[in-house]
Structure 1
Amino acid sequence: MKRYINALLVISLMTLTACQSSEDNADTLSNSTATKIELNGRSYLLALPQQYQPGNSYKLLLAFHPSGGSSEFMRSISQFENLSADYIVAYPKSEQIEWNEGCDCNVAHRLGADDLGFTLQVINDVKARHQVTEGEVYAAGYSQGGLFVQNLACNLSASFKAVAVVAAPMSVQLAESCAPQQPVSVMMVHGTADTALPYQGLVHSNFGLIGSPDTIALLAGKNDGLPYALDKSLSSNVSLRSYHNGRQKFQLYSMKNGGHNWKYTDFDTSKEILRFFASAEQPELPEHSRLINTEQGQFHVRAMGQNNPGPAVVLLAGPNYNYHSDSAWFAALQPLLSEQYRVYSIDRLGNAYSSSSDELSYRRFADDLALVLQQLEETHITVVAFASASISARWFYQLHQQQFDINAMLYIDPDIPLPHSVSLYQGYPADWYKVNLDALLPHLAAGNWTQRTRDKLTLEYQEVQQLVSSNDIAIDWSYFEQIMQLRLLIPQQQARAREIAAYSADLDSYATLPMITSIPVSVIDSDFEQQQIAQVDDDAELLAALEQWQQEGSAWSAEQASVSNGQYIALTNSDHLVPLEQPLQIKQALDWLFSQLQLD
Structure 2
Amino acid sequence: MKRQTITTIWLIMLLLGLASCKSSEKNQGDKTSVAQLQQVKLNGRNYWLALPRGYQAANSYKLLLAFHPSGGNGKDMQSFTHFDQISNEYIVAYPDSEQVEWNEGCNCNIAHRLGADDLGFTSRIITDIQSRHNVIPDEVYAAGYSQGGLFVQNLACNLPQLFKAVAVVAAPMSIQLASSCSPSTAVSLMMVHGTDDTVLPYNGMVHHNFGLISSADAIALIAGKNDALPYALHKTQVAPHTHLTSYHNGTQKFQLYSVQGGGHTWQFAGFDTSRQILNFFAEVEQPELPEHSQLVSTEQGQFHVRAMGMDNPGPAVVLLAGPNYNYHSDSAWFAALQPLLAKQYRVYSIDRLGNAYSSNTEELSYRRFADDLAAVLQQLQEIQLALVAFSSSSISARWFYQQHQQQFDIKAMVYIDPDIPLPHSLSLYQGYPADWYLANLPALLPHLAGGNWTGRTKDKLDVEYQEVQQLVAQHNVQLDWSYFEQIMQLRLLIPQQQARAREIAAYIADLDGYAQLPMVSAIPVSVIDSDFEQQQIDLAQDEPELAAALRLWQQEGSAWSAEQALISNGQYIALSNSDHLVPVQKPEQIKQALDWLFRALQLP
* Residue of structure 2 in register with 1:51 after alignment: 54
Partner secondary structure for residue 535 of structure 2: helix
Shift of residue 24 of structure 1? Answer: 5.2
* Residue of structure 1 in register with 2:65 after alignment: 62
Shift of residue 142 of structure 1? Answer: 0.3
* Residue of structure 1 in register with 2:41 after alignment: 38
AA in 1 matched with 2:13: L
* Residue of structure 2 in register with 1:13 after alignment: 18
Shift of residue 312 of structure 1? Answer: 0.4
Preserved contact between residue 7 and residue 110 of structure 2 (Cα < 8 Å): no
Match of 2:267 among 245, 263, 266: 263
Q: Equivalences for 1:186-201 in 2 at 5 Å? A: 186-201=189-204
* Residue of structure 2 in register with 1:276 after alignment: 280
AA in 2 matched with 1:206: N
Unaligned runs of 5+ in 2: 1-5
Partner secondary structure for residue 33 of structure 2: helix
Q: Equivalences for 1:75-474 in 2 at 5 Å? A: 75-233=78-236, 234-474=238-478
The 2-side partners of 1:414 and 1:501 are apart by 19
Partner secondary structure for residue 283 of structure 1: coil
The 1-side partners of 2:455 and 2:591 are apart by 36
Matched, 1:561 2:565: yes
Preserved contact between residue 332 and residue 579 of structure 1 (Cα < 8 Å): yes
AA in 1 matched with 2:253: K
Task: Assess, with a 3 A threshold, how the Cα gap between structure 1 residues 147 and 24 changes in structure 2: closer, same or farther.
Answer: farther
The 2-side partners of 1:412 and 1:118 are apart by 62
Preserved contact between residue 386 and residue 413 of structure 2 (Cα < 8 Å): yes
The 2-side partners of 1:509 and 1:377 are apart by 29
Partner secondary structure for residue 84 of structure 2: helix
Shift of residue 492 of structure 1? Answer: 0.1
Match of 2:520 among 479, 502, 516: 516
AA in 2 matched with 1:145: G
The 1-side partners of 2:407 and 2:603 are apart by 24
The 1-side partners of 2:84 and 2:28 are apart by 17
AA in 1 matched with 2:37: A
Preserved contact between residue 21 and residue 265 of structure 2 (Cα < 8 Å): no
Shift of residue 596 of structure 1? Answer: 1.1
Partner secondary structure for residue 41 of structure 2: strand
The 1-side partners of 2:380 and 2:74 are apart by 49
AA in 2 matched with 1:220: A
Please list the CA deviations of residues 361-380 of structure 1 after superposition, one character each: whole Å capped at 9, or x if unmatched.
Answer: 00000000000000000001
Shift of residue 544 of structure 1? Answer: 1.3
Shift of residue 353 of structure 1? Answer: 0.2
Q: State TM-score, norm by structure 1.
A: 0.99
Please list the CA deviations of residues 350-402 of structure 1 after superposition, one character each: whole Å capped at 9, or x if unmatched.
Answer: 00000010000000000000000000000011000000000000000000001
Please list the CA deviations of residues 228-255 of structure 1 after superposition, one character each: whole Å capped at 9, or x if unmatched.
Answer: 0000011441110000000000000000
Count of aligned pairs: 598
AA in 2 matched with 1:513: L
* Residue of structure 1 in register with 2:3 after alignment: none
Partner secondary structure for residue 28 of structure 1: coil
Shift of residue 538 of structure 1? Answer: 2.9
The 2-side partners of 1:342 and 1:104 are apart by 57
AA in 2 matched with 1:396: F
* Residue of structure 2 in register with 1:480 after alignment: 484
Task: Assess, with a 3 A threshold, how the Cα gap between structure 1 residues 599 and 126 changes in structure 2: closer, same or farther.
Answer: closer
Preserved contact between residue 67 and residue 99 of structure 1 (Cα < 8 Å): yes
The 2-side partners of 1:115 and 1:153 are apart by 13
Cα RMSD between the aligned structures? 1.0
AA in 2 matched with 1:588: Q
The 1-side partners of 2:132 and 2:50 are apart by 12
Q: State TM-score, norm by structure 2.
A: 0.98
Unaligned runs of 5+ in 1: none
